[in-house]
Amino acid sequence: MADLSSNFLGIKSPNPFWLASAPPTDKAYNVERAFKAGWGGVVWKTLGEQGPPVVNVNGPRYGAIHGPDRRLLGLNNIELITDRPLEVNLREMTEVKKKWPDRALIASIMVPCEEEAWKAILPLVEATGSDGIELNFGCPHGMSERGMGAAVGQVPEYIEMVVRWCKQYTRMPVITKLTPNITDVRKPARAAKSGGTDAVSLINTINSIVSVDLDTFAPNPSIDGRGSHGGYCGPAVKPIALNMVAEIARDAETRGLPISGIGGITTWRDAAEFIALGCGNVQVCTAAMTYGFKVVQEMIDGLSDWMDSRGFRSIEDFRGMAVPNVTDWQYLNLNYITKAQIDQDLCIKCGRCHIACEDTSHQAITAMVDGARHFEVIDEECVGCNLCVNVCPVDNCITMVPMTEGVDPRTKTPIQPDYANWTTHPNNPMAKVAAE
């Protein structure tokens, strides 16, 4: 049996599945239910400084994007950090950690970008017995207008400065949570590392307006006829999160920096992909809010079964295995050729592959053969783009087959693929630069 136990920055948990800082981790009641369901750890909903309470809207807080089957694809929220008193959160965190010593408990923190504010709250959090802190530099709405959250996360100099304060005033491991609302995620990651962070977590939510009500002409969710941008999360943001994780994992300046992966993780497979790109654990929010805390059991069982099937004894056995295979476009082998192939036994003759290829691609799929409705790939025209695979409604009906030899669709001449290192290939415009 695969061992799913996690040791992230010395923080041990029975599995790598943590709940992200969000509504599901706002109070002891929720967190204890999560632990009973099997979650390996939680990041408590973001704490603010002592003082005037945070006031959330008393109306709709979520907007959603649904698929045709009403499945939730993306969730937008305009909720702020915890609106519960700091002392209540700290007391409950202390009690929960005592009851569940084998689970990870991380305190997410967001206070003004002032040294004294961080210096004041860190000892209070440390006294709860929390295993670490997560600096919320990602929240894109509400708090950012107050000079916190993403307003800090978008300025590398601020990130480095606050991380240094935290490393000075606490013994706890520091995880820096990064915003995706930035041009190049490597820069804030480098800044966090320069400040001494122990790890980064990403991604936080993406600035968004998910829809506009065409009766009231207000964004959704709407509060008394008006709306605001919010933070977007859920399965729809996973591709963005994977790319940003990969950028940090393969960057020369941040390579080896521990990463906690966040962004649209719904299944064990999603988690495995983040771990393969270098993450030491994963954080989940929208899936729990959609399906409840017991969804973690499917993640645990699925990941364990897959690891057993591959012979992986721990997540460290495959962590980061995908990173060397992520490269820049100019280093791809342009002599590698694949062609689409349609399984006629599986084909339901819907014609979607033909329409997509005929109208928007390379006119490489027939519609009629000998007067009968028939869909077949014309090898000489197929450029291997795989659009047909993605629009076909039948799994594995259309597959991409590597060619040991074939016809170059651009020149119409036979070609024997050259699998040599593309970095030095004469057709690579970057070959000379790479050589120098």
Average predicted confidence (pLDDT) for the chain: 90
Alpha carbons 3 and 254: distance in angstroms, whole number: 28
Domain residues for the domain of 80 are 6-325
Q: What's the confidence (pLDDT) of residue 422?
A: 44
Q: What's the confidence (pLDDT) of residue 430?
A: 47
Q: Using 50, 70 and 90 to split pLDDT, how confident is the model at 433?
A: very low
Within 10 angstroms of residue 220's Cβ, the number of other Cβ atoms is 17
- What is the domain count for the chain? 2
Alpha carbons 227 and 217: distance in angstroms, whole number: 10
- List residues bridging with 340 in a β-sheet: 400
Alpha carbons 188 and 209: distance in angstroms, whole number: 25
For the question of whether the overall pTM of this predicted structure is more than 0.75, the answer is yes
Give me the phi and psi of 53, to 5 degrees please: -65, 150
Is there a domain that residue 232 lies in? Answer: yes
pLDDT at 51 over 80: no
pLDDT at 144 over 80: no
Is there a domain that residue 1 lies in? Answer: no
Asked if 268 and 16 count as a contact pair (C-beta separation under 8 A), the reply is no
- Nearest residue to 243 (alpha-carbon basis) of 319, 190, 186: 186
Residue 217 to residues 64, 214, 226, Cα–Cα distance (Å): 17, 5, 9
Does one domain contain both 282 and 369? no
Is there a domain that residue 188 lies in? Answer: yes
Does one domain contain both 289 and 349? no
Instruction: Respond yes or no: is residue 279 known to be catalytic.
Output: no
Q: What's the confidence (pLDDT) of residue 126?
A: 97
Q: What's the confidence (pLDDT) of residue 215?
A: 92
Does one domain contain both 164 and 33? yes
Does one domain contain both 249 and 352? no
Q: pLDDT tens for residues 322-339?
A: 999 999 988 888 888 899
Does one domain contain both 171 and 98? yes
Specify the DSSP class assigned to residue 226.
Answer: B
Q: What's the confidence (pLDDT) of residue 427?
A: 45
Q: Could you say which of 139, 285, 388, 392 is catalytic? A: 139
Q: What's the confidence (pLDDT) of residue 231?
A: 86
Alpha carbons 265 and 284: distance in angstroms, whole number: 6
